Each structure stands twice: as C-alpha cells, then as structure tokens.
Chains A and B, each alone.
Chain A
Amino acid sequence: MSTHNGGQPAILAEGLHKRFGDTRALAGLDLSVGAGEVLGLLGPNGAGKTTAVRILSTLLAPDAGRARVAGLDVVRDAAAVRARIGLTGQYTAVDQHLTGRENLEMFGRLYHLPRATARRRADELLERFGLTDAATRPAKTYSGGMNRRLDLAASLIVEPPVLFLDEPTTGLDPRSRIAMWDLIVELVAAGTTLLLTTQYLDEADQLAHRIAVLDAGRVIAEGTSDELKRQVGGERIELTVARGASLPDAERILREHSHGDVHVDPDTRLLAAQTDGGARSLADVVRDLDDAHVQLDDIGLRRPTLDDVFLALTGHGAQAPEGTGAPAGTQAPGDPPASADTQVPVGTRPETGAQ
C-alpha cells in the first residue's frame, strides 16, 4: 500500500490478527473508512468489534497486520495517533467520584490544555451535552444516559478528527438512546470521521454511511444498509389469521403480493413471506384478505433484524459463541445458549469476550 497525503482513508486496517490464548478475536480484519465517513461495525458479542476498536485506538497491539489512523501507524506512531482520536468505550470511563465538570477539566488538562482553557472547554461541553445542571454533582449520581453523554464529551475535548464509539447506546433506555443518536448525528455533520460499533442494525442504519458486518474476527459483508438488507432478503409480511379463517386463502393472497416461499405454520396460524413492496404490499394484502373475508388477528411488516442478517450471511445466529465463530454447542461456559431464532435484542448483554 502506498500512502499519499491526499485521498488516504482516515482509518485503514489491513489483515489485523489478534489472539487471546485460545480465542481468536481478529482473523484478518480489513477496514477502510474515508475522511468524514461513518462506518458502522456491526456484529454480535464476541465478533471482535471491541478488539478492533482497541487496536485502532492504540490500546492493544495486533499480533499481525497493520493499521493506520489519520495517516499514522497505530503501533509505531501511537502517541501521535492518540492526539488525533477520541475514544468512548463500552464502559463509562469517567471517575464516578468526581463531578461532571471535574472529570472534563481533568481530561482537558491531560490533553495538555491550560487550566483556564480546560475549564472553559468543560463548561462548553457540559452545556452542549445538557449536563450543565448536573455539572457539580458526582458522576455516580448520574443516570446511565447522562454518564454516556459525559463519557462522549470527554472524547471530544480536543475535537478529534477521528472518533471511535464502542457500542455507545448499549444498555441505554430508548429515550437516552435517541438523544445519543442526535448527538452523534451532529458530530458527523461537523465532519468527524466515525467508527461506530453496534449490535443493533437499526442503530447502524440510522447513523452509518456504510456498514461492515463482523463475524469471528473478520468482515463478512460490507455495504450500505439497503445493500445489506437486500442481501438478507428485505422486509417480510407476517400475519396471523383468526381461528376458523381459511389458511389456504390467506396463503394464496400472500403469495400474490410477495416473492419466494410463503412460510405457513398451521399450529400458530402464522404466515410469512418476503416482499419488496413495503407498506404498499402490506396494504394490498390487507385489502385482498378483507375482500376474501379472511379475518386476521395480527399483521405486520417485519424488517430484517441483526439475527436475520447473520443467519443469511453466516448460517448461524447472531448469538454466536464468544470470539470464535464456531457453531453453537462449542461455546464458552457461562455464556447464554446460542440460538438462531432468538429474537431478544442481541445487545442486552455486556460483551464479555475479547476485551
């Protein structure tokens, strides 16, 4: 690879490998993020997302491969890289006994800002992140969302050109999550290059220009959110017919407005099929079923979940064992059972592998 000052990517990883004992966390990771671009690194627990972020943010040296951030090698020029990045990890890395302002001031001074500048910058960030009222309270009294905002503010003290956010909304309630999204959108609008890891497809969908799907330490698919969803098969119409209504009629009508197989489960009277038409197809199905007097208990348009993406891309569910990508059944002890049809949000558990 040749490096030139002009069009080089803000983040570039080539063939990164990292192993922790028997666990292979990264197995040849390649990534490229252009300046000002947002890349969503999407993957289940143990896919290697955190390890990738830790290597790119100089916290961890790769076993093999190399990476450049802001044009600098993350191993050889680590110190210079650190002056150009911001990192918000999965855990709130602020001092819980210090107040919000004290935390930001301390980090500002560790960025070598003069005391007065650090103080002014802390106040600016507190204001911008809606923490002014809580500025003099210890961080341990903050809600989860406030703590995350404080943590994000701490990564933005010097307005780094490259920002890493490792699962910025995991564990947040929906309202805090959306507030966090708004903050991230603002940052990106200001031109920050962002690498964001997430377990939620909708989060990557909302925030990222491009998504890289990570499994067992390597990128298995890459593209825009629409491209990925198309790969997975797009949206599905799912309906449950009322007891006593005609299943064959419902199946016939659903087939007319969808493509591929119509999945029928006679026991639960659930029918499902893929569609390209979105809400329009849904409306057509509802109308035709109504005309045919087929009564429904439930009908809806289901968008692909991370599990669907994973199932389609890897043949196994998103609850793959930690860091290995091995089939279910060989997973580490203490891990919840892997299941391809688990529909719980895959991000509800803290990542335990490959920290």
Chain B
Amino acid sequence: MNAVESTAPRSPRLREEPPAPARAPLRRRLYWTAHDSLVLTERTLRLTTRIPELLVFSIIQPVMFVLLFRYVFGGAIHIGNSVSYVNFLMAGIFVQTVAFGGVTTGVGLAHDLDSGLIDRYRSLPMSHFAVVLGRTAADLVRNVFTVVVMFAVGFAVGFRPLGSPTDWLAAAALLLLLSFTFSWIGACVGLAVRNVEAVQSAGFIWLLPLTFTSSAFVPSATMPNGIRQFSEAQPVSQIVDAVRAWTLGQPVGSHGAVAVAWCVGILVVFMPLAARLFKRAGGKV
C-alpha cells in the first residue's frame, strides 16, 4: 500500500495525502494496452461466430446495393465509354460497405454499456482505451471478410479489376484505414448516444447522405452546382476516387494522399474524443 504520509508537502493538496503511485512507464502501458486490446478483439470476434446472423445481415445489405445499382439503376447511369458501370460501381460499394461497418462498432459498444460489461471493464485494472481499440480492431477484421465477400459478389456480376497487384494492395490498405477511421467515429456515436436503437439510427443518418452525395455511385460532375463542389471535396469521394483509380489501374493523382490525410485527421480528432467519452461513461445512464 502506498499510504505513506508525505513529510515535505510540495503543494497544499499533498499535505495530508499520500503521493499517488507512480504511473507505469509508457512502454509498459503500451504493452498492456495492446495486450488488453487483443483479448477484447478475440472476444468480439468470438461473439461474431456466436451470432452469425449479424454477419450475414451485414453482408446482405451491400449485396442488395450491388444488385440494385448493377441491374436497376445502372442501365440509366452513363459514366463514359472507357469504363463499364460495374467496374465504376464496385469502388463505391467497397467504400460504403466499410463506412457502414463503423455503425456496428457503435452499436456493439452501446450494447456493452447497456449490459453493464463496460462498467466491469472500467472497474478492472486494465487499459480502458483497449475497450474501444479492441472493438475497432475486431471490426477491422470483420470488414476484411466483408470486403472479400463483396469482391466475389462484384466479380460474379461482371466486375473485372484492371490494376496491378501493387495498386490492389494500395486499395486494400486504404480500405483498412477507412474501416478503422469510421469505426472510431462509430465508437464515439455509440459512447455518446448509448441507447442501442438510437445508435443504430444515429450511425446511419449522416452516413447515408455522405456516401450518396459522393462519387460512390455516380460521377460528381453530373451533380448540380453546390452539391457537386461538396461531393468533390468531401472525404468519401476522395477515398472512392483513390480506390477506384487503383482498382481500375488509372492514375490516382492526389486522391490517395488526400484520402489518407482525411482518415488520419479524423482519427486524430475521434480517438481522443472516444477516450474522453469512455471516461464519462460512468455517469448517469
């Protein structure tokens, strides 16, 4: 126990209180954060195998989008002669699927808050940051699986990627970064909104317009003034354009760098925000 009275008070506060136990060195803290995150990643992934319905439904939705856009809207959308619509479409589908995956992160956290599990985590001598990190990491793994399935679905409906293997690696890396980034946004929504159903809605209401008002399904150039500028500038378009260029073997231009910058910028804001919201999570429900 560290209840040794300080004989030489350095500040009035310390006069009657024992010094706080020294915090563990940074390297040690990082080690345990990684350790605890892995334990919780494993738990979340195990959960996914226990409730396969969740995974199945999270795949049905993007599959429906592929079929709808490929066979219902696609015929009316002309994006020029050089690229088939299905080849144009799939980059948008990948990005939207991964972005929507972030909602799952928030729903999962809200569920753990509701069930009291987060209270238990918070009462343990573990890294609290790991509770969110573990889940975003698990959702990253889940998203890899989802994107692979979407690739197969796309291939079945005529998607024929043209890029080189290096391009493909770059596209995959950006999608992973996107998954991680949007999971942290989702985590903040989950921790702030807390109610499972409300998190579900709150997670989508901003994602739907953001992904549709982008170059995901139609070229931004066809949009009216105002909306077009918004679509061209916003991060989803930048990411879609980069992924599309890489999957189709076209020059990526500045899109890749801008997309990465957006993701890093969002993470810089939302990771500390999630940590703060988590600290607050002990307050009244």
A89-B120 in contact given A70-B1, A71-B2, A112-B125 (Cβ < 8 Å): yes
Most buried by A among B32, B116, B120: B120
A93 at the interface (CB under 8 A from B): yes
Stretch at the interface among A94-102, A260-268, A301-309: A94-102
Most buried by B among A1, A60, A83, A110: A110
Which positions 43-70 of chain B face chain A at CB distance < 8 Å? 43, 46-47, 50-51
B113-129 vs A: 1/0 string, CB under 8 Å? 00111011111111000
Stretch at the interface among B14-22, B73-81, B251-259: B14-22
> Which residue on B lies nearest to A70, using beta carbons?
B1
A89-B116 in contact given A1-B16, A58-B123 (Cβ < 8 Å): yes
Q: Which residues of A contact B142 (CB under 8 A)?
A: none
Nearest-Cβ distance from residue A158 to partner chain B, whole angstroms: 9
Which positions 41-64 of chain A face chain B at CB distance < 8 Å? 54, 57-61
B32 to A112, Cβ gap below 8 A? yes
Q: Which residues of A contact B115 (CB under 8 A)?
A: 91-93, 95-96
Q: Which residues of B contact A138 (CB under 8 A)?
A: 50
B83 at the interface (CB under 8 A from A): no
A93 to B50, Cβ gap below 8 A? no
Nearest-Cβ distance from residue A103 to partner chain B, whole angstroms: 9
B2 to A102, Cβ gap below 8 A? no
Which positions 1-35 of chain A face chain B at CB distance < 8 Å? 1-5, 8, 20-21
Stretch at the interface among B96-104, B221-229, B277-285: B277-285
Q: Which residues of B contact A71 (CB under 8 A)?
A: 1-3, 18
Q: Which residues of A contact B1 (CB under 8 A)?
A: 5, 70-72
A85 at the interface (CB under 8 A from B): yes
A97 to B47, Cβ gap below 8 A? yes
Q: Which residues of B contact A58 (CB under 8 A)?
A: 122-123
B167 at the interface (CB under 8 A from A): no
B39 at the interface (CB under 8 A from A): yes
Q: Which residues of B contact A80 (CB under 8 A)?
A: 2, 20-21, 125
Q: Which residues of B contact A76 (CB under 8 A)?
A: 17, 20
Nearest-Cβ distance from residue A75 to partner chain B, whole angstroms: 10
A106 to B39, Cβ gap below 8 A? yes
Number of chain A residues close to chain B: CB under 8 A: 48
Most buried by A among B50, B115, B119, B125: B125
B20 to A98, Cβ gap below 8 A? no
Partner of B120 from the list A54, A90, A93 (CB cut-off 8 Å) is: A93
Which secondary structure characterizes the binding site on chain A? loop
> Which residue on A lies nearest to B130, using beta carbons?
A110
B47 to A8, Cβ gap below 8 A? no
A20 to B20, Cβ gap below 8 A? no
A93 to B282, Cβ gap below 8 A? no
Nearest-Cβ distance from residue A241 to partner chain B, whole angstroms: 51
> Which residue on B lies nearest to A161, using beta carbons?
B1
A107 at the interface (CB under 8 A from B): yes
A74–B122 CA distance with the chains assembled, in angstroms: 13
Most buried by B among A2, A60, A138: A60
A8–B5 CA distance with the chains assembled, in angstroms: 13
Nearest-Cβ distance from residue A80 to partner chain B, whole angstroms: 5
A111 to B43, Cβ gap below 8 A? no
A8-B117 in contact given A58-B122, A97-B50, A98-B46 (Cβ < 8 Å): no
A82 at the interface (CB under 8 A from B): yes
> Which residue on A lies nearest to B279, using beta carbons?
A61
A109 at the interface (CB under 8 A from B): yes
A76–B123 CA distance with the chains assembled, in angstroms: 14
Partner of A3 from the list B18, B20, B122 (CB cut-off 8 Å) is: B18
Most buried by A among B2, B36, B123, B282: B123
Nearest-Cβ distance from residue A6 to partner chain B, whole angstroms: 10
A110 to B124, Cβ gap below 8 A? yes
Nearest-Cβ distance from residue A193 to partner chain B, whole angstroms: 13
Q: Which residues of B contact A211 (CB under 8 A)?
A: none
> Which residue on A lies nearest to B23, using beta carbons?
A79
B3 to A106, Cβ gap below 8 A? no
Nearest-Cβ distance from residue B30 to partner chain A, whole angstroms: 14
Partner of B39 from the list A21, A97, A109 (CB cut-off 8 Å) is: A109
A102-B46 in contact given A2-B5, A2-B16, A71-B3 (Cβ < 8 Å): yes
8 further A-B contacts with Cβ under 8 Å, apart from A72-B1, A89-B119, are: A4-B5, A61-B282, A91-B116, A97-B46, A102-B43, A106-B42, A111-B124, A111-B126
Residues of A within 8 A of B (CB): 1-5, 8, 20-21, 54, 57-61, 68, 70-73, 76-77, 79-80, 82-83, 85, 87, 89-98, 102, 106-107, 109-112, 138, 154, 354-355
